[in-house]
Amino acid sequence: MSTRTVWDAWAGSVPPLTCTSTQAPSHDSAATAARLARARLADQYMVYEAEGGVWHFAAGSAASVTAHANTITAQAAGRSWTSPTGRQPLTEFAAALRALATAHAPNTADGAGTHFYGWAAFELAHLLHADSEAAGDAPLLHALIPSVEVTLTGEHTLVRAADMALGRKVADLLAEPPAPRPASDCTTPEEAERIITAGTAAYGSVVARTVQDIHAGLLEKAVVSRKVPLPAGPAVDFAETYLAGRRANTPARSYLLDLGGYRAAGFSPETVLEVGENGRVSTQPLAGTRARGADPAENERRRAELLADPKEIHEHAVSVRLAWEEMAAVCRAGSVVAEEFMEARSRGSVQHLASRLAGRLRPDAGPWDAFASLFPAITATGVSKRAALQALARHEQGTRGLYGGAVFRGSTAGSLDAALVLRTLIGAGDDAWLRAGAGVTAQSDPEREIEETCEKLRSVAPHLRFAAGAP
């Protein structure tokens, strides 16, 4: 059976969301989306906060696509279809979505295409830019095609479902007043600081070794991270952590998910890329960091310091330079522009130097070509990307998995919105952890990079919530 036949057969088995209803708007979209997540309407779900205060909730059990380095498997209607990837999982993933667009075209009256929700693991980067053998055996890409999707805006709540029974169940759930929930255990300031500062000495040594690599001419910059396992004890309540963390953060995107073997509650400071159905593509590199607190005068002092710091300016400039090159590789000649350059942006417990590059995709390039060029975000890897990936493989212990990868929402009509996975609580199996990194350059001081990771962890650690048996 040819690859096209495989994906056509799969796509024909994925039920479209033909049952649509409009409900009253929610007064608290984040809380409503989290309540839908707790309802466990299906085995997998994702909450995704998009631009402009719009929250999306998606859930499903039957239809998904999972890619490893060598194979890609799609599921629908209790069946599985598998095809080799030729170590190009993004190419096969895009082929599956093209088949889905064709199969669902007659049922897409609103012209929005079929939506999908998923994640890309950081190790996909090794297939795209470095040593393919380093990609490992774990899943690199997972996407859900939901059986129910809820969009929450300030004006209305839109419910789309694969059948009327599921649509009514969701509508009834939305109409119910929120049930009181027992208070979850909060992290004390002392506990949060113990979590934040765990393993800092070892991280300082890794930074020093990376600086030596840079002085040796092996690379220009590497974003070196450290993993912070959470202590064994009460289960982390991901939904309550998401709500508490979202109220304290100012993310570019946020998400709550139980999808493809990962659980996560995150407050992404930047997008890897945003692609519109009209072919407009943009990316938002953030690099250069200072703490942000409750004192406006101190925040302004740190902002001025950030904008004048040679190390931070250099780190940001080299990131923007490479992002420009990656955009130019897939955009029409002359279309890439800097819409914003080195502005200070607040992101929870920190403030960053931020830029935005935008362009128009070439006629022969699609959203996944742009994703392949820009992933992983340069601000989570380094310069050059290949050399930085090799340095991270030398100096970081274990794989990153979801951290430094992407959480995304897209449409078969051509849109793709991918958030960079930073400032995120991550769980798999019985384990849960945080992770944070800092951009290491020739001018880096290990103590300052340690403190930068602590500043970033303060966007999540103080907001952890625990409850026995929490989802």
CA dihedral of residues 294, 299, 301, 302 (deg, nearest 10): 120
Is 369 within 8 Å of 312 (Cβ atoms)?
no
Q: Please give the C-alpha separations between residue 354 and each of 284, 293, 305, 320, in angstroms, as whole numbers.
A: 7, 19, 15, 9
3-class DSSP state of 184: coil
The whole-angstrom separation of Cα 124 and Cα 127 is 6
Is 8 within 8 Å of 103 (Cβ atoms)?
yes
Rg (CA), the chain: 22
Is 360 within 8 Å of 280 (Cβ atoms)?
yes
CB atoms within 10 A of CB 52: 7
Which residue type occupies 348? Answer: G
Is 315 within 8 Å of 287 (Cβ atoms)?
yes
Token reading at 150: 């809820």
Angle subtended at Cα 263 by Cα 262 and Cα 267, rounded to the nearest 5 degrees: 120
The whole-angstrom separation of Cα 341 and Cα 338 is 6
The whole-angstrom separation of Cα 217 and Cα 442 is 10
Helices 238-248 and 29-38 cross at an angle (nearest 10°) of 170
The whole-angstrom separation of Cα 55 and Cα 246 is 12
Question: What values do phi and psi take at 457, rounded to 5?
Answer: -65, -25
Is 370 within 8 Å of 284 (Cβ atoms)?
no
Question: What values do phi and psi take at 158, rounded to 5?
Answer: -105, 125
Catalytically annotated residues: 270
Question: What is the DSSP track for 5-69?
Answer: HHHHHHHHTSPP--EEEEEPPPS-HHHHHHHHHHTT-SSEEEEEE-TTS-EEEEEESS-EEEE-S
The whole-angstrom separation of Cα 106 and Cα 76 is 19
Question: What is the DSSP track for 363-396?
Answer: TT--HHHHHHHHPSPGGGSEESHHHHHHHHHHHS
The whole-angstrom separation of Cα 18 and Cα 13 is 14
